[in-house]
Structure 1
Amino acid sequence: MAQHDETVKRQPLEPLAAEEIERAYGILTDERDVGEESLCIKIELAEPSKDALEAYDADGTVPDRRARIVIRDGADRRTLEAVVSLTDETVVSWEHVEDAQPSIAIEEFIACEETVKANAEWQAAVERRGVENTDRAMVDPWSVGHEFVPESVDRSKRLAHGLSFLRPSEDAGDEGYAKPLTGIHTFVDLDRMEVVEVVDYGPPDEDEPLPPREMAYREDDVDLRDDLAPYNVDQPDGPSWTVDGHELEWQGWHMRVGWTQREGVVLYDIGYEDDGEVRSIIDRASCAEMSVPYGTTDINDRFKNAMDVGEYNIGRLAKSLTNGCDCLGHMHYWDAVMNTAEGEPNVLENAICLHEEDNGTLWERSDWRTGSDEVRRRRRLVVSFVAAVGNYDYIFNWYFYQDASIEVEVRLTGIDSVSAVGPDEDPAGYGELVAPQLNGPIHQHFFNFRLDMNVDDGPNTLYRVENQQVPSGPDGLDPMSEADGRTHNPGGNAFYANREKLTSEAQAKDLIDSLKGRYWQVENPTAENSLGKPTGYRLMPGDNVAAAVQDDSSVMKRSGFIKYHLWATPFRENERYPAGRYPNQHPGGAGLPAWTEADRSVEREDLVLWYTLGVNHVTRPEDWPILPAQVYSFKLQPANFFDESPAIDVPPQHAIEGQDVPGHGHGSCEGETEAEADADD
């Protein structure tokens, strides 16, 4: 068949366009029987291999443009995965994936709620709690996991676990999370879209089954502060970045901004321009999986363990971002082109936001002898998206700084997952009261970031670096000494940065240790800076937490990546997701735990780092009704990548603003005083 010019011209990592999604599904359904009532779970770019991308960069050889399609044939209870060539307009591969459940589609969420609300047994359970109008209820379909399914329910079916809440009215805009209908558990066969079992453990208190208060947080429902002055970000000359399609350049940074339904934002070919050459740092970066285990023993909450990337497609749950609300200043947006369950294109406008923001001081030097003063403001570039996953909202920010460092940040906000308790019940320990009769169970959030490292075009080697004390006294040993291996440490003050090469996957499995200042460094042993040091980047942990669940728990079996904060593997094309391709209802063991059993070498390899960022959430009333954003991050910093600070050439404010302030860079940083402002008035 004839090739489409648009397909041939697109950069190989460009996300699928709307017409490509439509065409890919048409090619598949023309050649294969996907079933009359099947759901198209996902259509997205089948990314070219690294060899194909290298050939494209070297001589312009355009790789085959392909789409990966996941189908759920509910009638025959089959999960089908296909790869379609858009270049040749044919089906390249077709696979029935045995015993696999793909992620739950948003259309299934909607249909599941309707199915539950039409069920007479569920209606009776709701009415037993004194609710006369069951139309006011809402149902959130949770993934069922594997072990927390009633024995009477067939686990081989495609299932959802419905939790119910009561809205204050039938208005579709009203949320009911303040009044959970605790005790009602509804299991739904999503393939047949029918209720298979309703379990009712009863309300926590027969006389007062529902918490007494509603929730108020919207603008019209709250008495707002009236003493907050406007704060506007003005960029009269526009932004400092350049954008060409999905290519982005800013302050030495070069990258491509992409998107998948599963991961949301994906960043490709991250590099930094140095002396006119763009030096590679990361080939591909994304949040590859999540796990949110709840720690309570309560039968109504203990099953909760959402894997929002693999089970729900967090990119599919992204929201359209708004200038002035989600971002400030000059914006650039990218749309996310995805698909409906019917295989048709679905465009989410403004899914990715790009903006710059001031971030305090970049560097400063004040010399008391000469009175000279140099100050530089730090500016950062932000690439972000926001996903609304049921009650929680997650904000993912990728920050790029002028000192060539990267910060990966997650902000957690939205509404706590809550359950009702009796009027005299205090769940302290396994949960905390956030409002009268409303319990917020203890839980954790784990985000696993996949960083396909490529420092200076590789190969790369991994080191653990941490503080090491030297024994004190006249016979104190100093392993850093190359003379006789012995030195004195009479003051007991000596310590050094110990470097340990991690040569295998087993060695690389590691936990943070902030008390030792532990970090990990990726180096290229074949590239050096002018000081003769291998070029590298450090992964610097921020706040983190160990997984509190037992090793033999269902949570650890299914999301084993949470056991360690750091994993390292040699790159393999098919090793993309740390809990495996299809974690929904999977019994566990897939992904990183399975791959690393081989204990492969990670020395002088095409190295992939997997960093698990953990959050411990002991709830509190200050979290209610909306959780103020909880902020967690980690950083990547250059280490011997440059010969000196890459931020030394950032101009002072007066130079940026075109002001003539001779002598030093601090003059224009002195803002207008209140007295001067009054005088201007």
Structure 2
Amino acid sequence: MTLLADDRPAGSGAGDTDGHPLARLTADEIRAARALLDRHGLLGPTVRFALLALEEPAKDVVLAYAPGDPVDRRVRAVLLDVATGVARTVLASLTAGTVDPVREHHAARDGQPPIMLEEFVAVDEIVKADPGWRAAMARRGVTDFDLVRSCPLSAGDFDLPGERGRRLLRVLSFLAHRPEDHCWAHPIDGVVAYVDLIERRVTELIDHELLPVPVEEGNFDDPAYTGPARTSLKPIEITQPEGPSFSVDGDVVRWENWSFRVGFDPREGLVLHQLGITDGDRERPVLHRASVAEMVVPYADPGPVRFWQNYFDAGEYLLGQQVNSLVLGCDCLGEIYYFDVVLADGAGEPREVPNAICLHEEDHGVLWKHSDLFTDSAETRRQRRLVISYFATVGNYDYGFYWYLYLDGTVQLEVKATGVLFTSAYQDGSAYATEVAPGLGAPYHQHLFSARLDMTVDGVRNAVDEVDVRALPVGPDNPYGNAFTRVATRLSTESDGARNADASVGRTWRISNPERLGRLGRPVGYQLRPEGQTVLLAAPTSSVARRAAFATRSLWVTRYDPEQRYPAGELVNQHPGHAGLPEYVAAGRPIDGEDIVLWHTFGTTHFPRTEEWPVMPVDRCGFTLRPDGFFDRNPTLDVPASTSTHCAAPAADGPAACH
């Protein structure tokens, strides 16, 4: 770690309030919010906070703000009475001490509040008290219930009799051989409990078939399983003798012409606000707000025990609430600045997560290079990137979200998926799972993310062109058949803006500002480069396609609306579907030269490998935004040549190795 210019210790940036409208909530503000709602009679012994977050002001308010202006600090709370199941959304002003009219939700129509951390504990108590579940375990030879791990999984919405309007979780179980044994190696398959969290009982038990519980252990943290650690790896040290090149002032980060504000939301996790770049004497905006607003993990097994498996890790489980504390030298390497995070727990009290967000620089290979044939000039420059990241653990999976800013104006998001595969008992010839250990299956599934990109490319009025490459046919204008070109199609309305990636034509999307022209007379722009992987594979008539319609398209473009924050709607948990982006684009509003938001679906289709057991090496997915006519020339011509030299000790049979 390092000390920054203001001599604040790294890691002290939890909710620094600087008077800005987007400053993160502090612990004191969380306490004040709880007290305010209590004074207005909205709390009680059975009322819990499913969500408490900053209610961000609309874009025009933020853009008009000047230091010293008065700011109305507002919060949004989703409250759940765990005795009655009544759910409410409350907007309140901490500044004025007022509460807006309360919106009470109709569960069957509006969906349920997110799943709370305390409900994970409740589920374990409920299923283990159920005689039917205990009998099902006994039939499988499991009698020590203290070693059974109940896995609380979101219920979805499948029009099953008696379910609509109930607050439900579905529970699969796993067995540990002893307290420190990793239970994912021993799924107790063939049985699932449906649990009503308000009535605190198992409403239905599906005991489909008796399957052997896999016995081989998978303790990746036990040397008795892994064998002795290898001794051949030599240390790698990342050093910056003069300190890092970035500076941090509260939530504001500046680095190599870039500037942005760090935000953190209990639902979306890390948020980048007001991302812009200095070009000469101009501060040029690129993104007003960037986040991962939703993700869905649909599974492929259609059987009676698992057909319902699909999880919305943001809307149902709250990605931000699952944030890890990061460890220097393991999660982040080098000269690190940590931001702490303050979140509200179920009681509405502040919960501090130290070292939740990591900020550091990385060398990233060659930036540009040329050895000229005619002048003997030989020049090389090194690329460097700023990394801002966090990790969230949602059940068995761990997700790292890494935003990269590059010297040449490129922005990139990389999601790193690791952790432990969700497991099943493997049945020979399964079409829906891989056998990863004897008798142990890992079901096929997808990880699909929705990045919400509130664009401000040199201003708030932007447009989007879909750009495809096109090979031209042989003819009078192309007699030798070598010609190809590119074709740009302007997306005019929200109806046009629902698009799919197509790697066969190299499809990209160019976001431009028609009101700002570059030196050569072309509107300045940024290019969204998708990875072009498969979108949602579930049938269009399926429950998950109804509820995760955002994942059926690679791109959506909407007019900015401060109320339209989430691609699958406000309350995702057990929502019947068709909320979010399908509703947003139904109006068919113009998007050509307007204030627009891009929603980009990206991710992976995961067919597990044996090499991913018992812990999964990182799998990566993401996208890139790079300048396309935004600058008048290469913006990194002023990057100096590298001067530092580091040498290892000479080898016994050769010279020292230098770089």
What TM-score do you get using the length of structure 2 for normalisation? Answer: 0.94
Show the 5 A alignment for 1:520-531.
520-531=509-520
- The answer on 1:187 being equivalent to 2:209 is no
Give deviations 1:511-570, integer Å, cap 9, x for gaps. Answer: 111121110001100101111111111001125213211111111000001111010000
Match of 2:88 in 1: 80
2:472 aligned partner = 470
2:72 paired residue number? 64
Deviation of 1:274 after TM superposition, in Å, equals 0.7
What are the within-5 Å matches in structure 2 for residues 102-181 of structure 1? 102-147=113-158, 149=160, 151=161, 153-169=162-178, 171=179, 173-181=180-188
**How many Å separate the matches in 1 of 2:19 and 2:132?**
54
Q: Which secondary structure does the structure 2 equivalent of 1:507 belong to?
A: coil
Supply the AA of the counterpart residue of 1:68.
Answer: R
Match of 1:279 in 2: 284
Which segment is superposed worse, 556-565 or 123-132? 123-132
**The one of 235, 239, 245 aligned to 1:234:** 239
Cα shift at 1:7: 10
Residue of structure 2 equivalent to 1:414: 419
- Tell me which of 448, 458, 480 is aligned to 1:456: 458
CA distance in 2 between counterparts of 1:255 and 1:145 reads 37
**In structure 2, how many angstroms separate the alpha carbons of the residues matched to 1:676 and 1:89?**
74
Deviations 1:399-455 (A, max 9, x none): 110010011111111111111135xx231x322111111111111110000000011
C-alpha contact 1:249 1:255 (8 A) present in aligned 2: yes
Distance 1:10 1:191, change over 3 A: farther
CA distance in 2, matches of 1:536, 1:610: 17
Q: What is the total number of aligned residue pairs between the two structures?
A: 638
Counterpart of 1:216? 219
- Cα displacement (A) at 1:646: 1.1
Worse-superposed segment, 84-93 or 36-45: 84-93
Distance 1:344 1:677, change over 3 A: farther
- Does the CA contact (< 8 Å) of 1:8 and 1:65 recur in 2? no
Task: Report the alpha carbon displacement of residue 331 of structure 1 after superposing the two structures with TM.
Answer: 0.7
Aligned residue among 442, 445, 448 for 2:444: 442
Which residue is equivalent to 2:39? 30
Ranges of 4+ aligned residues in structure 1 off by more than 6 Å: 669-673
Alpha-carbon distance change, 109 to 122 in structure 1, aligned in 2, over 3 angstroms: same
Residue 55 of structure 1: CA displacement?
Answer: 2.6
Residues 85-140 of structure 1, C-alpha deviations (whole Å, 9 max, x = no match): 11112223421122230110111112212222232322221121112311100011
The 1:39/1:550 distance shift into structure 2, 3 A limit, reads: same
Contact 1:535–1:640 at 8 Å: present in 2 too?
Answer: yes
User: What is the alpha-carbon distance in structure 1 between the residues aligned to residue 330 and residue 460 of structure 2?
Assistant: 41
Give the Cα separation in 2 of the matches to 1:254 and 1:72.
Answer: 39
Identity of aligned residues (%): 40
Q: Which amino acid aligns with 1:587?
A: P
- 1:208-248, Cα deviation, whole Å (9 max, x unpaired): x2112111211544222221111111112111100001100
* Separation of aligned partners in 2, 1:679 and 1:391: 42
CA distance in 2, matches of 1:592, 1:319: 30
Q: Work out whether residues 647 and 656 of structure 2, in 8 Å CA contact, stay in contact via their aligned partners in 1.
A: no
Alignment partner of 1:364 is 2:358: no
For residue 672 of structure 1, report the CA deviation from its aligned partner.
8.0
CA contact (8 A) 1:543 1:633 kept: no
Structural mapping, 1:608-627, within 5 Å: 608-627=597-616
Partner of 1:594: 583
Are the counterparts in 1 of residues 88 and 102 from structure 2 also a CA contact under 8 Å? yes
1:384 is aligned, of 380, 384, 389, to: 389
Q: Please, which of 619, 626, 641 is the counterpart of residue 630 of structure 2?
A: 641
Counterpart AA for 2:19: R
For residue 195 of structure 1, what is the amino acid of its counterpart? V
Q: Residue type matched to 1:196 in 2? A: T
Q: Which amino acid aligns with 2:459?
A: D
- The 5 A counterparts of 1:278-317 are 278-317=283-322
What is the CA-CA distance between 1:60 and the residue it aligns to?
4.4
Distance 1:500 1:546, change over 3 A: same
Deviation at 1:632, TM superposition (A): 1.0
Question: Partners in 1 of 2:208 and 2:514 — Cα distance?
Answer: 61
Change in CA separation of 1:314 and 1:679 when aligned onto 2, cut-off 3 Å: closer
Of 35-44 and 444-453, deviating more is 35-44
Preserved contact between residue 538 and residue 637 of structure 1 (Cα < 8 Å): yes
Cα 1:672–1:527, aligned 2, differ >3 Å: closer, same or farther? farther
Deviations 1:569-593 (A, max 9, x none): 0000100000000010011000001
CA distance, structure 2, for counterparts of residue 9 and residue 334 of structure 1? 15
**Which among 232, 248, 254 is matched to residue 253 of structure 2?**
248
Please give the secondary structure, in 2, of the residue aligned with 1:161.
strand
Letter in 1 for 2:310: N
2:23 aligns with 14
CA distance in 2, matches of 1:624, 1:431: 13
Residue 21 of structure 1: SS of its match in structure 2? helix
The letter for the 2-side match of 1:457 is G
Distance in 2, matches of 1:226 and 1:602, equals 58
Q: How far did residue 75 of structure 1 move?
A: 2.4
Residue 62 of structure 1 and its aligned partner are, at CA, apart by 2.4
Any stretches of 5+ residues in structure 2 without a counterpart? 1-14
Secondary structure, aligned partner of 2:133 = helix
